[in-house]
């Protein structure tokens, strides 16, 4: 589940489908993996989320708009 949602999250911007729902799905998968004790996967996924969020903010600023994570 975590790998699937991670792929969906990373593919969404290229498909023009980067939505809050995609982020929520990944967040839910991270929480589920965290509950199962899969620390390596969770750490990787959290780093990916942080990276993409920071790049999304930078992209929004470059386009003179704002983006706030929910």
pLDDT higher than 80, residue 65: yes
What span, in angstroms and rounded, lies between the C-alpha atoms of 47 and 60? 20
pLDDT higher than 70, residue 39: no
User: What is the per-residue pLDDT across 4-38, written as a single tens digit (0 to 9) for each?
Assistant: 887 888 788 878 888 889 989 988 888 887 777 66
The 3 state secondary structure assigned to the chain is CHHHHHHHHHHHHHHCCCCHHHHHHHHHHHHHHHHCCCHHHHHHHHHHHHHHHHHHHHHHHHCCCCCCCC
Predicted structure pTM score: 0.54
Q: Where are the domains of the chain?
A: 2-62
Query: For residues 33 and 42, which has the higher predicted lDDT (pLDDT)?
Result: 33
Mean pLDDT of 43-69: 79
What span, in angstroms and rounded, lies between the C-alpha atoms of 35 and 26? 14
For position 21, what pLDDT does the model report?
Answer: 92
């Amino acid at each position: 589940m975590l790998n699937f949602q991670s792929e969906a999250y990373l593919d969404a911007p290229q498909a023009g489908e980067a939505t809050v729902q995609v982020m929520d799905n990944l967040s839910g998968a991270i929480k589920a993996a965290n509950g199962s004790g899969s620390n390596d996967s969770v750490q990787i996924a959290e780093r990916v989320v942080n990276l993409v969020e920071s790049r999304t903010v930078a992209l929004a600023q470059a386009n003179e708009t704002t983006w706030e994570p929910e």
